Structure 1
Amino acid sequence: MPDAPTAAAKARRRTQVKVLPPRQRHLVSRFSYGVTPALAAQVRARGGAEAWFDRQLKGTALRDPVLGRTKAWWPDLGRGPESLWQRSVNGTRGGWEVMADYQRWVIARRTTSPLQVLETMTQFWENHLYVPTNGEQWFVHRVSYGETIRRHALGRFADLLRATTTHPAMLIYLDNATSTASQPNENLGRELLELHTVGREVIDESDVKDSARILTGWSVDMWKTWKASYAPEMHSTGRVRVLDFTHRNAAADGREVTRLYLDHLARHPATARRIATRLVTKFVQDAPAPALVDRLARVYLRHDTAIVPVLRALVASKQFRASVGGKVRDPIEDVVATYRALGAKVSRPTSSNSAANAVLWQTQALGATPFGWPRPDGTPIDDAAWSSTSRVLASFQMHYSMAGGWWPSAQVKHRAPASWLPRRRLRFDALVDHLSRSLLHRPASRRLVQACSEAVDVRPGERITRDHPLVKWSMPRLLTTVLDSPDFLRR
């Protein structure tokens, strides 16, 4: 008979962080902002990663207890467009300040929301149907625009496309709010085709011109009430043709032709392929496998632009299963994942230096802020854009500041160094394994143990207690070494 386990062995098992099997970890990691022990416990409670994912696909039908609470941290996010504009004009608070608060709220949601799949898909669509936050006019509608996308993020793309194309933030950003029958502005008509739906490869300038004409009439009362409206007198009538969509467009009220046109674009095979390609690039690999793109496009069309069946087909594919460790976290995802991994608890900000506010500067230092990309094509989603030496060095610096609890330090609770010890006494290599399971959600590799040993000058077999110099002085360096590993920089 085998020997009975010793008391020490039993203690090790009790304190060992339980990690998800690799395949489950991969799924949860791709569709969250970092697998934590708490998230893994939720996944196990749901019966595994696939069951967790399936429930998460219900999106806004599920309760999010932190959404309203975190939004209340920044009161201007609850103001209407006319109030925001007046406060900007009279110098109370500028649009850029309000938009900085919106960026911070987005980061807070990604860090704390239990609806991780909804937040990831909101990020995906808010980047695809892009309206930046650095706008002097459309800022008054930008919060509403993001909330509109969040409501539709796991619904049908046809509904999402109609809601975003005619939203006042988009109308102002791409100049449709002032587009008239005599002088149609082509910006929205062009980007609707080139970026949001079919892609520039299948269109020509005549398509762009008629696309712009169809969209005339959708307006915003700029500089006054900022209310969105439809102005028939601004609509350009007469026959239109865009790709294989044709319409007499005889009525002064062009809202019906707009609806038909957008529905046609949403269901176009080229749109299906473009969306499938973007999803594969974001969640699988930078060079999308044509077979997977074709399969997802067919699912998209077969289910009348519904996104959930496409996501289910994506995660069930062999290409997704084979893509473990193949995607790099962008700067914002890195910052969010670091807060989650280290268990930093952020509270309502009371000053500019508060962590909930300073987190925006942390993402900026790494090279990107939410919706800070200046062009209408959205922040890059490929690995190459975020794999430069300067980005990696900036991540290393951020990891070290966070691991030490040095900055930000206001309105945030960092874990004490000794709290990382799972037991009162253990070997150094066992501590590294514990940290790897806690921060990377995987057992420590020999390579990681060696790197950590060299980083803090402690032998693998050395015994660590709360009074050890490592715990007193070098724990930030040890934590940083784990966070700087390729396994953390990838998702």
Structure 2
Amino acid sequence: MSLATAMTLGTSTFRGSVLVLSLLAVTACGGGSGGEAGIATPTSAPDTSAPQDPVINNDPAEGVPQLRGIYGASRLASRASFGASFASIEYIESLGQDAWIEEQFSLPISSHDAVVDALLLREAAGDFDEIAERENNDNIAAVFGRAAWWHTSITAQDQLRQRVAYSLSQIFVISDEVNALLLSPYGTSNYYDMLLEHAFGNVRDLLRDVSLHPAMGIYLSHLNNARSDPETGTFPDENYAREVMQLFSIGLFELNPDGSEKLSDDGQPIPTYNNDDIRQFAKIYTGLSWGGLNNRFGSNRSNFTEPMRMFDDFHEQDEKKLLNGQVVPAGQDGLSDIDAAIDNLFFHPNIAPFLGKQLIQRLVTSNPSPDYVARVSAAFEDNGNGERGDMRSILRAILLDPEALAEPDPESTFGKLREPLLRYTAMLRQLSVSSPDGFYANLGFFVQQLIQQHPMSAPSVFNFYSPSHQPIGELAEQGLVSPELQITNSNSVIEISNLMRYAVVADLVNDLSDPPFFKATLGLDDFLPLAEEPQALLDRLDTIFTYGTLTNDTREAILELVSLIDEPELRVRIAAYLILISPDYAVEI
């Protein structure tokens, strides 16, 4: 059984549900009037012709048929952005996938903090007084970090950077489930900006700045973490010391470069560290408190825009024994100790396959082959110029690997289930959401209520799902994992369908629509000329949503229904909605 078959409902079930779902969508929501496309994207003249057949290039060196052309560009956009309109997909095709990635590397960072700054100015000008009064909320600025994520992720040009930062946020997890992060406008936005900065940087710098960021210090409790005190019997908090190894760098067991576990002589996995190692690393992360010139150790004066500051008087001065026999001498200053610990993890042989495989899973496929992981590990180890941990080298290896570029095969185990949040963001960008003043205003609370997922809102440091989640049944029998299935059940399938119905059919695409300048709409104008020809309409939607992988059964089921709809805009909305809730869209292959 293929991965796509194992992870989704059968298409026959989908076909039988099409009419009922669509009638419910129409009667519950009614039609909606689309707006002008407002996302800044490269423009081209509308093309009402059907897409060309996929261009298959066979690389003799690898012997793998590759998907190029418009479908290949669409698939890259699905993996390397939060979604793309048809014009943006055409632009990727015109540049070529390699060149588009290099162009993305060169774009300036679209800062989330900058959006928070702008929102604070608008608050001071009274733009949000009506909302604050209506909601009886005297700290409306607390939600500005959420608003910054939605606006920037949906409208920014540096889509690859934004998408990679989101992937990193699922590995280096913080969560606004902690009140200190929820209630500060910069609690999550500044941390996300740090991830954006290092998305195309170096893993060592990323690991260091994660360790020193106050949001992480709050979340994993090494902010105001003091040295041992024999008189009181207190010892350093071990929380961050444990998670920086288990989740952020080397994992639980020793790995080969291809991601497989090394085994002892008796056939057992070999642990990478033990409890004593955790205690030793815990000594490293002592003496840190809020940054800022006027702060002191133990202070509660929060400052989320500066790294934590080291107060050496509260740092553990003893010798520390790290992994692989490395010893940190006694008496060093605290930041030198931290640098030594970061290097100890960064040069550990596990970090390349451990992080590399997770990035493959977040961007391309849940079950990469050992060879794929090994190639990404090699790119981590050396970017070709002797640099280790170069994120650009790692991302090129992930996105341009022969397996990633291969022609889609629905019978293979390659691919992954789209997580609910990414299904929603992709739809917004694919259908060119816009608002009158250019600011896409969304706080994500309605989205989170329905799909139980939101950026930087995970229930724990283990994220919403585990990279090794293996559901019982067909996948387990094949030795396959599907991380996103950990948050997928009958209720979540219904709720993502409801969310798509509200957005696509009823044009309810944000949870802030009053005052009027917040009202966002989908831009369907480019689709309306195609509405008279249902086949042409589905060809276009197939290109944007499913890069040419829409199955004949799904296509026929949708055509059967939309042909019964006379009103052009409603025909477009229903056709888009049905693809978006189909198994074909649910699984990326």
Q: 1:390 to 1:306 in 2, by over 3 A?
A: same
Matched letter for residue 278 of structure 1: Q
2:31 is matched with none
User: Which residues of structure 1 form unaligned runs of 5+?
Assistant: 1-12, 80-90, 459-467
Q: Which residue does the alignment assign to 1:53? A: 101
* 1:161 Cα offset (Å): 0.7
Matches of 1:377 and 1:453 in 2, distance apart?
Answer: 42
Contact 1:24 1:50 in 2 (8 A): no
- SS of equivalent to 1:333: helix
State the distance in 2 between where 1:385 and 1:489 align: 15
1:98-140 C-alpha deviation (Å, 9 max, x unpaired): 5543223212222111111101111111221111112223454
Q: What is the aligned counterpart of 2:521 among 409, 414, 425?
A: 414
Counterpart amino acid of residue 79 in structure 2? R
Q: Is the 8 A contact 2:464 2:487 kept in 1?
A: no
Scaled by the length of structure 1, what TM-score is found? 0.81
The answer as to whether partners of 1:348 and 1:356 remain within 8 angstroms in 2 is: no
> Does residue 1:159 correspond to 2:260, yes or no?
no
Which residue matches 2:301?
A: 225
Matches within 5 A, 1:371-382: 371-380=456-465, 382=483
Deviation at 1:315, TM superposition (A): 2.5
Match for residue 225 of structure 2? Answer: 179
Q: Is the 8 A contact 1:203 1:243 kept in 2?
A: yes
- 2:374 equivalent among 269, 294, 308: 294
Contact 2:174/2:457, CA 8 A, preserved across alignment:
no
- Equivalent residue number for residue 38 of structure 2: none
Query: 1:284–1:404: structure 2 CA closer, same or farther, 3 Å change rule?
Result: closer
TM-aligned CA deviation for residue 51 of structure 1: 0.9
Task: Indicate whether 1:33 and 2:82 are aligned.
Answer: yes
- Once the two structures are superposed, residues 270-325 of structure 1 have per-residue CA deviations (whole angstroms, 9 ceiling, x without a partner) of 11221112112222322232222223223212231111111212233233234847
Distance 1:78 1:257 in 2: 43
Offset, 1:449: 3.4
User: 1:192 corresponds to which residue?
Assistant: 244
**Which position in structure 2 is the counterpart of 1:461?**
none
1:24 matched to 2:73: yes
**Native 8 Å contact 2:505 2:570 kept in 1:** no
Q: Helix, strand or coil: the match of 1:178?
A: coil
Length-normalised TM-score, structure 2: 0.69
Assess if the C-alpha contact under 8 Å between 2:238 and 2:282 holds in 1: yes
Q: Which residue of 2 aligns with 1:436?
A: 542
Residue 419 of structure 2 is matched in structure 1 by 330
- CA shift, 1:441, in A, is 4.7
Partner of 1:469 in structure 2? 566
Q: Percent identity?
A: 20
Q: Structure 1 pair 66/421, CA: closer, same or farther in 2 (3 Å)?
A: farther
Secondary structure at the aligned position of 2:460 is classed as coil
Secondary structure of the equivalent of 1:176?
Answer: coil
Structure 2 counterpart of 1:274, which letter?
Answer: F
8 Å CA contact 1:432, 1:444 repeated in 2:
no
For residues 498 and 281 of structure 2, the distance between their equivalents in structure 1, rounded to whole angstroms, comes to 47
Residues 221-270 of structure 1, C-alpha deviations (whole Å, 9 max, x = no match):
56543353211121112221121153343225221121122022112111
Whichever residue aligns with residue 397 of structure 2, its letter is A
Aligned-partner SS, 2:371: helix
User: What is aligned with 1:365?
Assistant: 450
Residues 276 and 441 (structure 1), Cα distance of their counterparts in 2 relative to 1, 3 Å cut: closer
Q: Residue 184 of structure 1 contacts residue 212 of structure 1 at CA under 8 Å; is this kept in 2?
A: yes
Structure 2, unpaired ranges of 5+: 1-45, 53-68, 125-135, 229-234, 254-271, 291-295, 468-482
1:177 match: secondary structure: coil
Equivalent position of 2:476 in the other structure:
none
The 2-side partners of 1:346 and 1:431 are apart by: 25
Which has a greater percent of helix?
A: 1
DSSP 3-state at the match of 2:529: coil
The counterpart of 2:277, out of the listed 192, 207, 225, is 207
Q: Please say if residues 179 and 185 of structure 1, whose CA atoms lie closer than 8 Å, have aligned partners that are also in contact.
A: yes
Aligned to 1:447: 553
Does the 8 A contact of 1:122 with 1:150 survive in 2?
yes
Change (3 A) 1:363 1:331: farther
Aligned 8 A contact 2:112 2:149 in 1? no
Of 118-127 and 444-453, more deviation after overlay is shown by 444-453
Find the aligned partners of 1:235 and 1:77 in 2 and give their Cα distance: 42
Distance between the aligned counterparts of 1:479 and 1:22, measured in 2?
Answer: 17
SS of the residue aligned with 2:309? strand
Deviations 1:39-89 (A, max 9, x none): 1132134x211210122133xxx236796775456328999xxxxxxxxxx
CA RMSD of aligned residues (A): 3.2
- Rounded to whole Å, the distance in 2 between the matches of 1:131 and 1:77 is 27
Residue 399 of structure 2 corresponds to 315
Tell me if 1:103 matches 2:146: yes
Matched, 1:150 2:196: yes
- Alignment-derived partner of residue 498 in structure 2: 397
Distance change in 2, residues 1:394/1:272 (3 Å): same
